[in-house]
Amino acid sequence: MTQSPRDGRSRARRVTLADVARKAGVDKAVVSRVVNADPLLNIRPETRARVNAALKELDYRPNVAARSLRTAKAGTVGLFIPDFANPVYAEIITGAETAAADLGCALMVGSSTAGRGARSYLDLLGQGRVDGLLLAGGTITGEEQATLADRGLPWLFVNRRGPGSGRHVILDDVLGARVAVDHLLDLGHRRIAHVGGPPGADTAHRRHDGYATALRSAGLEEDPRLVVQDVYGPDGGVQAVRLLLDGPEPPTAMFVANVASAIGVLSALRARGVSVPEEMSVVAVHDLPLAEHLIPPLTTVRMPLRALGARATKLLLSVPADHPVEEVVREPIELVVRQSTAGPRR
Amino acid sequence: MTQSPRDGRSRARRVTLADVARKAGVDKAVVSRVVNADPLLNIRPETRARVNAALKELDYRPNVAARSLRTAKAGTVGLFIPDFANPVYAEIITGAETAAADLGCALMVGSSTAGRGARSYLDLLGQGRVDGLLLAGGTITGEEQATLADRGLPWLFVNRRGPGSGRHVILDDVLGARVAVDHLLDLGHRRIAHVGGPPGADTAHRRHDGYATALRSAGLEEDPRLVVQDVYGPDGGVQAVRLLLDGPEPPTAMFVANVASAIGVLSALRARGVSVPEEMSVVAVHDLPLAEHLIPPLTTVRMPLRALGARATKLLLSVPADHPVEEVVREPIELVVRQSTAGPRR
DNA sequence: CTGAAAGCGCTTACAG
DNA sequence: CTGAAAGCGCTTACAG
């Protein structure tokens, strides 16, 4: 605790509403209304001009704490993610950040990587630090959810459906998966494996759905030996390749639920001497700048992650906390064909 | 503007200090001192117990806005980065987040990806939203820096030296580069290229320094035709490979200033049929989980990015704004040898 | 050892 | 058309 009087903040006293009011020769209530563009304010143009001049001259900025205290609104939305290192969340964050800024709000992102998990993040939020909380991916315990509800904090699950919450915004993962699998089917593949996400993940569930649906539409039956579930990430992909290639009748193509897993899939295939796409086609969900530079460049399905983050932010801020939100973001999903997919060798 | 009275926040009135005081039968000043563990408070053990019981029973959480208004401290530190998608920043963020939490602070991260750049982020911060600002990477214009100073907001450059600021925390990039280049020298390489970062980047400058120093220590002279500067990122790497391989006397090894560029280097080398490490060794700064799964697995120099983020946060919060900070984080730098480096073919 | 009071900087009915 | 006043929930000298 440095309690020095010269700690840099006290340098110049901040400009307050009262300063502006004095300079403009009006009451601070008037200044407040001008600042907030109160539509009910009926003010003489010359008075408004005087106020605006004073505002500008003194470079007035409202004190956020005072405003928050008075209005019981923080002007901030929280976003909780599992890990900053996951580029999928980077896209969601960017979308949320943009939307929040458009609404005049700040965004406060927290992750569980910092160690203590969602609980300690919730503690930090305290009372009034955020107006609502976006919960992206990861897992929230029942206790944590109860804590949220206790605090009267509106929350919204992003990219996953919460346990019976009825408050979530997701992407059309079923369609995304279908697009990927249809691409493989169009190329002529019939033995198509699915490198799925972890059993607990809602996105994994929905992508598996899309995979099954696509096969069915093509008159194919799902072969359980061709479906592997593992963590999203390179290690999951490595593991999946081992299981799939050691099976009795290996696939000719793989639909990978996540681009991070696909990185592991490509490296494991190479390590085993399986060439892509000649001997194995690979397509994954989520496009990243990286995908183009993998070896070979990876065919992906681009999902509207930014739109997801933006939409979630808007809904969190506009829909009352006790109303249900169950939205699927309908921005276009795009197949990005690169060099990891080709027809099966015959 | 939804002005509905049922907006979810008003559901249950929040518990205030006064509620706790009433329940415990003391004045709220006492509760405040207990909550904040005021060392000057001399309180009868039984009174303290009563207060603590009431605190727990009502599940009291201080109102951050009220506290901030009173103390003129936000309890939040801001971190501004160029892009969430860059995994290097992910590590810095995680370090900062952990340190902030340890100090009882929240972290507010903003990026310039959201469009409007540093200026609009600064506007959002308004007055009192953060106690200080960490500026990682990227570029800050003189005007922006002036704005910062005007607001009396302490700031600190992270992983770069600000223009004459005298307030920064960086890593020992010179050493990191030396470690990488020494590794190549030890393997027997003599024609070692440098795929450097953009001319404006301070880290690029320091890594180039380390490269030059290492060569000199080995009695070698820097060949300007073997040094290429380009953006940090796969595209920069692709570009660099083209320039280097088309030269008169191509290198046998490449020291790449950034792992993101190395991804492009590997893919470009492969596209040109140059095998790694047989015909070309590649080593890059920054280790990522990804590096192990590149083809071939990439040899890297692991830099203490988390420690950097953590240290910067601590310094920002403890060193007065008008004092200089010029620190190099001395956590260990580690060479991670994988399969992209080998002796030169002869 | 504990209480009463002032005040941080705003916003918002209300009065004139 | 503009002003005076109350109050959001804290913290902190100060009084007793």
By the 8 A CB rule, do A340 and A283 touch?
A: yes
Q: Report pLDDT digits (tens) over A45-79.
A: 888 889 999 999 988 989 989 999 999 889 899 99
SS (H, E, C) chain B: CCCCCCCCCCCCCCCCHHHHHHHHCCCHHHHHHHHCCCCCCCCCHHHHHHHHHHHHHHCCCCEHHHHHHHHCCCCEEEEEECCCCCHHHHHHHHHHHHHHHHCCCEEEEEECCCCCHHHHHHHHHCECCCCEEEEECCCCCHHHHHHHHHCCCCEEEECCCCCCCCEEEEECHHHHHHHHHHHHHHCCCCCEEEEECCCCCHHHHHHHHHHHHHHHHCCCCCCHHHEEECCCCHHHHHHHHHHHHCCCCCCCEEEECCHHHHHHHHHHHHHCCCCCCCCCEEEEECCCHHHHHCCCCCEEEECCHHHHHHHHHHHHHHCCCCCCEEEEECCCCEEECCCCCCCCCC
Nearest to A215 by CA among A189, A197, A238: A189
- Which of A109-123, A150-164, B152-166 has the least mean pLDDT? A109-123
More confident residue, B285 or B1: B285
What one-character DSSP code corresponds to residue A127? B
A196 phi-psi bin (left φ>0, alpha ψ -120 to 50, beta other): beta
Q: Distance (Å, rounded) from C-alpha A141 to C-alpha B334?
A: 37
Please report, rounded to a whole number, the percentage of residues in chain B having pLDDT higher than 70.
Answer: 93
CA R_g for chain A: 26
Terminal CA-CA length for chain A:
73
Across B218-239, average pLDDT: 95
Q: How many Å apart are CA B175 and CA B306, to the nearest integer?
A: 17
Instruction: Quick: pLDDT tens for B286-332.
Output: 999 899 999 999 999 999 999 999 999 999 999 988 889 999 999 99
Nearest partner of A236 among A257, A211, A207, A212, judged by Cα = A257
Q: Which residues of A touch B12 (CB under 8 A)?
A: 152
Residue range B65-83, pLDDT digits in tens = 999 999 988 989 999 998 8
pLDDT band of A346, cuts 50, 70, 90? low
- Compute the nearest-CA separation of B103 from chain A (Å): 10
At position A101, the amino acid (one-letter code) is: A
| Residue (of A74, A73, A83) closest to A109 by Cα position | A83
Find the residue in A nearest to B155 (Cα): A8
Chain B residues with CB-CB distance to A321 below 8 A = 7-9, 11
User: Backbone dihedral region of B225: left (phi > 0), alpha (psi from -120 to 50 degrees) or beta?
Assistant: alpha
* pLDDT above 90: percentage of residues in chain A: 59
Lookup: tokens for A209: 């759905």
- The whole-number average pLDDT for the span A148-155 is 78
What are φ and ψ of residue A32, in 5° steps? -55, -45
Residue A51 or B283, more confident: B283
The amino acid at B236: G
Contacts with A, B 157-176, CB within 8 Å: none
Helix (H, G, I), strand (E, B) or coil at A227: strand
- Whether B335 has its CB under 8 Å from any CB of chain A: the answer is no
What is the pLDDT at residue A128?
80
pLDDT in tens, B180-200: 999 999 999 999 999 999 998
Listed by number, the residues of chain A in 62-91 with a beta carbon closer than 8 Å to a beta carbon of chain B are 62-66, 68-69, 72-74, 76, 83-85, 87, 89-91
Q: Is the dihedral of CA B47, B52, B54, B57 positive or negative?
A: negative
Check CB contact under 8 Å for A321 and B8. yes
In terms of CA atoms, which chain A residue is nearest residue B62?
A127
Q: Decide if B290 and A238 are in contact by the 8 Å CB cutoff.
A: no
Across the interface, whether the CB atoms of A9 and B297 are under 8 A apart is answered no
Half-sphere exposure of A252 (CA within 13 A, CB side): 13
The domains found in chain B, sorted by start residue, are 17-62 (1.10.260.40), 74-346 (3.40.50.2300)
**Coil, helix or strand at residue A60:** coil
Q: Is the pLDDT of residue A153 over 90?
A: no
pLDDT recorded at residue B255: 98
> Which residue has 């592991």 as its token pair?
A264
pLDDT of residue B9: 37
pLDDT of residue A5 exceeding 60, the answer is no
> Is residue B149 very low, low, confident or very high in pLDDT (cuts 50, 70, 90)?
confident
Q: According to the model, what pLDDT value does residue A127 have?
A: 74
Protein-proximal positions, strand C, CB < 7 A? 1-5, 7-13
CB atoms within 10 A of CB A236: 25
- When pLDDT is cut at 50, 70 and 90, the band that residue B247 belongs to is confident
Structure tokens of A165?
């919450």
Tell me what percent of the residues of chain A surpass a pLDDT of 70.
93
**Distance in Å, residue A73 CA to nucleotide D1 C1':** 29
A76, containing H or E segment: strand A76-81
